[in-house]
C-alpha cells in the first residue's frame, strides 16, 4: 500500500474516513430500540448526549463508543496502510463525515466523541489530556458544550507545546477542534442566553 501514488492514498483515506464517519449510530440505535427519531428529541443532535435525553443510558453509552470508534478506526486503518499523516487525514474526514453525513442531507452531529477518539488515535497522550479536560469541565459545569470547548482547548494546547506531533497531525488536531467548536454555534447562542441544557442522567 505504501507504494501507491500519494494522491490515491489520500483519496482512499478520504473514502475510508467519510464512509465510517458518516454512519449515524445515534439515529440508528434510537430507531431500532425505541422507535423514536433522535432528531425530534432534545437538541435534535444525533450524538450520545442527546441520546441520553431519551432516558436510555445504555444506548447513549453505545452511541458514544461507536461514534468514537469510527474516528479512531479510520486513523488506525490508514496509519497501518500508509503512515500516521494519512491516518490523521482520515480521522479529520471521519469527524467531517459525522458532522455532515450524506445519508442525513449533511445534517449530522457536532463530532465531539468522534473527535476525541480520532485525536486519541493520533496521539495517546493528547487524547488522554483531552478526555481529562472534558471530564473535569463536565463535572464542574454539567454542560456538555462547555466540556467540549474545554477538551478541545486542552488538546490543542497540549498537542502544540508538549506532544510529538508532525506538522500535519498538529494541523489536523487544530482543524478538528475548530470544526467541532463551529458546530456548536447553536449551543453558544444558548449559553449566551442562559438557556443551555445541563447534562442529566435521569429519565424525563
Which set of grid coordinates corresponds to residue 56? 436510555
> What is the grid cell recorded at 59?
444506548
Place of cell 422507535: 35
pLDDT at res. 138: 92
How many residues comprise the chain?
204
Contact present, 90 and 17 (Cβ < 8 Å):
yes
Cell numbers standing for residue 39: 432528531
Burial 182-191 (b: 16+ CB within 10 A, else e): ebbeebeebe
**104-126 exposure pattern, b = at least 16 Cβ within 10 A, e = fewer:** eeeebbbbbbbbbbbbbbbbeeb
Are 11 and 85 within 8 A, CB to CB? Answer: no
pLDDT in tens, 149-172: 999 999 999 999 999 999 999 999
Interacting residues of 8 by C-beta distance below 8 A, sequence separation 6+: none
Tell me if the pTM is above 0.85.
yes
- Res 204: pLDDT: 46
Cell reading at 129:
489530556
**Residue % of the chain over a pLDDT of 90:** 80
* Residue 196 to residue 192: CA distance in whole angstroms: 8
Per-residue exposure over 27-59, b if at least 16 CB sit within 10 Å of its own CB, e if not: bebbeeeeeeebbebebebbbbbbbbbbebeeb
Pick the more confident residue, 194 or 23: 23
Nearest-angstrom CA–CA distance, 100 and 85: 22
pLDDT tens readout for residues 73-123: 999 999 999 999 999 999 999 999 999 999 999 999 999 999 999 999 999
Amino acid at each position: 500500500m505504501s507504494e501507491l501514488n500519494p494522491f490515491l492514498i489520500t483519496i482512499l483515506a478520504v473514502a475510508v474516513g467519510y464512509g465510517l464517519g458518516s454512519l449515524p449510530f445515534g439515529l440508528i440505535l434510537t430507531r431500532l430500540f425505541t422507535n423514536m427519531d433522535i432528531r425530534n428529541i432534545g437538541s435534535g443532535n444525533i450524538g450520545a448526549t442527546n441520546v441520553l435525553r431519551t432516558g436510555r443510558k445504555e444506548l447513549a453509552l453505545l452511541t458514544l463508543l461507536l461514534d468514537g470508534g469510527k474516528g479512531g478506526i479510520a486513523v488506525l486503518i490508514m496509519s497501518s496502510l500508509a503512515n500516521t499523516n494519512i491516518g490523521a487525514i482520515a480521522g479529520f474526514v471521519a469527524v467531517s463525515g459525522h458532522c455532515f453525513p450524506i445519508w442525513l442531507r449533511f445534517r449530522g452531529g457536532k463530532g465531539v466523541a468522534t473527535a476525541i477518539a480520532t485525536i486519541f488515535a493520533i496521539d495517546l497522550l493528547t487524547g488522554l489530556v483531552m478526555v481529562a479536560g472534558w471530564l473535569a469541565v463536565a463535572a464542574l459545569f454539567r454542560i456538555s458544550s462547555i466540556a467540549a470547548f474545554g477538551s478541545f482547548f486542552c488538546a490543542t494546547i497540549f498537542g502544540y507545546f508538549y506532544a510529538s506531533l508532525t506538522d500535519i497531525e498538529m494541523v489536523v488536531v487544530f482543524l478538528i477542534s475548530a470544526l467541532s467548536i463551529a458546530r456548536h454555534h447553536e449551543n453558544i447562542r444558548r449559553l449566551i442566553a442562559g438557556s443551555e441544557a445541563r447534562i442529566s442522567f435521569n429519565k424525563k
